[in-house]
């Protein structure tokens, strides 16, 4: 259903040829109220996010630190840290609206329908219990099994995540395992309730490149063998390129581009995606650990977004129209529909908008000073450390 160039399309449209999405996020907005007594306004950390994830699909969500990736995933889980709350939109899992469930109802779905591998595996494992015990407890939280049955189920789960010698390693404490092995344990815990959807939040960030690749292979195997739908959250476009079918690029709480991974790498349509791609380490160069793309300026604070397109103060292709109003999502006309992968392709950028006047299209020489960002192109952002 390739849209015409410049045609206005809504993100996350159901596709006739592939049936309904398993997980569907519609217009999701998440806010933190401003601190009482302080003059900081409401922080809109996720802004109208549309996203859909199909059974057996690996979808990458990529963007710099602070763009709202974790808050979006926590909203799906019903685990937003207070006082953060969903202010608009909804989350549907196999047609059921999760965002309207009571906490008790949500608790029954958490782990058994949708599970999450959290961003900080070190703090998520309890140092005083063996990993086998912790996986077994996760199993018992969902199924009525004896301790002995849960223990052998735990060993099976550890085998499924390819922990070497799972029977013996089950008796190890977290500190006795390597980072990659601990991440496998976290994935086993997430699988304990037999979920259909797995949200993996930066599952490879703390790991070295070889181990990263092994964990990505594991996730790929899980979606292939178990039909899991995997949402892979990362700040690293290289991770997405290795693994994902489709990518959503986020900036300042919004999705700014969605494309099949191959198409995004071939011809990124949004200047932010272009900058991310351009800053990927080239082949032959050693990959610096934890390095983030270097783009001039910084992600704006959610409490002080620039007017119009939130990226315009950092955008090398900024036009007169960009600060005037927020862009819609447009088909960039470069996506090619190939194979069974979803064919939705769009970018939230006026470069692809039809019907702009010559004045609107003219380059904006001096971008108006955004409330919270520097437009100084000589300002090289320090690589943000993953938290």
Ligand X SMILES: Nc1ncnc2c1ncn2[C@@H]1O[C@H](COP(=O)(O)OP(=O)(O)OP(=O)(O)O)[C@@H](O)[C@H]1O
Q: How far is CA 384 from the centre of its chain?
A: 17
- Least Å distance, CB 72 to ligand X, is 7
Nearer to ligand X by Cβ, of 271 and 300: the residue is 300
205 binds Mg ion per the rule CB under 5 A: no
Q: Which does 302 bind (CB under 5 to 8 A by kind): ligand X, Mg ion, none?
A: ligand X
**In terms of CB distance, is 33 or 167 closer to ligand X?**
33
- Find the shortest distance in angstroms from Cβ 70 to Mg ion: 3
DSSP state letter for 129? S
Q: Print the binding letters for residues 97-136 with ligand X: x by CB under 6 A, - otherwise.
A: ----------------------x-----------------
User: Residue 22 in contact with residue 197, Cβ under 8 Å?
Assistant: yes
Nearest-approach distance from CB 118 to ligand X, in angstroms: 11
Partner in contact with 32, chosen from ligand X, Mg ion, none, beta carbon below 5 to 8 Å by kind: ligand X
Q: Is the peptide bond before 235 cis (omega within 30 degrees of 0)?
A: no
The one of Mg ion, ligand X, none whose footprint includes residue 308, by CB under 5 to 8 A per kind, is: none
Strand 85-93: give its sheet, edge to edge.
43-53, 23-32, 85-93, 96-97
Q: Total residues contacting Mg ion (rule CB under 5 A)?
A: 2
Q: Which residues in the 225-284 window bind ligand X by CB under 6 A?
A: 235
**Long-range contacts formed by 150-157: CB under 8 A, 24+ apart:** 154/188, 154/192, 157/188, 157/191, 157/192
Which CA distances in Å does 327 have to 64, 105, 113, 207, 254? 20, 37, 35, 37, 11
State in angstroms the smallest separation of the CB of 85 from ligand X.
Answer: 11
For the chain, how far is it from start to end, CA to CA, in angstroms?
A: 40
Mode of pairing for the β-strands spanning 96-97 and 85-93: antiparallel
Q: Minimal CB distance to Mg ion: which residue?
A: 70
- The minimum distance between CB 316 and ligand X, in angstroms, equals 23
Per DSSP, the three-state class of 16 is helix
The reply on whether position 352 binds ligand X by CB under 6 A is no
Nearer to ligand X, 89 or 302 (CB): 302
Please give the C-alpha separations between residue 292 and each of 69, 244, 384, in angstroms, as whole numbers. Answer: 15, 19, 6
Chain residues 9-48 in contact with ligand X, contact rule CB under 6 A: 32, 43, 45
Least spacing, CB of residue 301 vs ligand X, in Å: 7
68 binds, among ligand X, Mg ion, none (CB under 5 to 8 A by kind): ligand X
Interaction with ligand X in 319-348: which residues (CB under 6 A)? none
What is the smallest separation between the CB atom of 366 and ligand X, expressed in angstroms? 27
Using CB atoms within 10 Å of the CB of residue 6, give its burial: 0 to 12 exposed, 13 to 18 middle, 19+ buried.
middle
Question: What would the x/- binding string for ligand X be over residues 43 to 82, using CB under 6 A?
Answer: x-x-----------------x-xxxxxxx---------x-
Whichever of 110 and 235 has its CB closer to ligand X, that residue is: 235
User: What is the side-by-side order of every strand in the sheet holding 229-234?
Assistant: 114-117, 197-201, 229-234, 58-62, 246-251, 254-260, 346-347
Cβ 216 to Mg ion shortest distance, Å: 18
Could you say which residues in the range 69-88 bind Mg ion, by CB under 5 A? 69-70
- The site for ligand X, by CB under 6 A, has a size of 18
Locate 22 and state its tokens: 């398993």
Whole-number Cα distances in Å, 190 to 106, 196, 322? 16, 11, 42
Phi, psi of 117 (to 5 degrees): -95, 115
Half-sphere exposure (Cβ direction) of 133: Cα atoms closer than 13 Å: 10
Residues of this chain that bind Mg ion (CB under 5 A)? 69-70
Provide the binding-site residues for ligand X, judged by CB under 6 A: 32, 43, 45, 63, 65-71, 81, 84, 119, 235, 302, 386-387
């Amino acid at each position: 259903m390739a849209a015409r160039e410049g045609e206005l399309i809504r993100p996350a449209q159901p596709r006739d040829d592939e049936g309904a999405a398993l997980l569907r996020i519609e217009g999701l907005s998440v806010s933190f109220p401003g601190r009482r007594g302080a003059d900081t306004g409401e922080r809109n950390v996720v802004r109208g996010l549309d996203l859909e994830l199909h059974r057996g699909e690996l979808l990458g969500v990529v963007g710099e630190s602070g763009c709202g990736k974790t808050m979006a995933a926590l909203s799906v889980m019903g685990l937003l840290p207070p006082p953060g709350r969903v202010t608009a939109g909804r989350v549907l899992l196999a047609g059921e609206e999760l965002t309207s469930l009571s906490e008790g109802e949500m608790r029954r779905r958490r782990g058994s329908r949708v599970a999450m591998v959290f961003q900080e595996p070190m703090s998520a494992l309890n140092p005083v219990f063996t990993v086998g015990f912790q996986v077994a407890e996760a199993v018992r939280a969902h199924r009525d099994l004896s301790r002995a049955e849960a223990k052998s189920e735990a060993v099976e789960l550890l085998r499924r995540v390819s922990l070497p010698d799972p029977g013996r390693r089950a008796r190890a404490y977290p500190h006795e395992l390597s980072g990659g092995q601990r991440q496998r344990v976290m994935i086993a815990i997430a699988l304990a309730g037999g979920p259909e959807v797995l949200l993996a939040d930066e599952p490879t960030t703390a790991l070295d490149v070889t181990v990263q690749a092994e964990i990505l292979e594991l996730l790929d195997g899980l979606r292939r063998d178990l039909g899991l739908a995997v949402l892979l959250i990362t700040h690293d476009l290289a991770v997405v390129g290795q693994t994902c079918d489709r990518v959503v690029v986020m900036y300042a709480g919004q999705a700014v581009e969605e494309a099949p991974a191959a198409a995004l790498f071939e011809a990124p349509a949004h200047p932010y995606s272009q900058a991310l791609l351009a800053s990927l380490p080239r082949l032959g160069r050693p990959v610096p650990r934890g390095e983030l793309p270097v783009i001039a300026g910084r992600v704006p604070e959610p409490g002080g977004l620039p007017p119009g397109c939130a990226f315009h103060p950092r955008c090398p292709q900024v036009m007169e129209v960009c600060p005037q109003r927020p862009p819609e999502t447009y088909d960039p006309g470069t996506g090619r529909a190939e194979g069974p992968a979803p064919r939705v392709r769009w970018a939230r950028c006026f470069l692809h908008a039809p019907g702009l006047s010559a004045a609107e299209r003219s380059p904006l020489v001096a971008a108006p000073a955004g409330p919270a960002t520097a437009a100084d192109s000589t300002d090289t952002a320090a690589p943000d450390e993953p938290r």
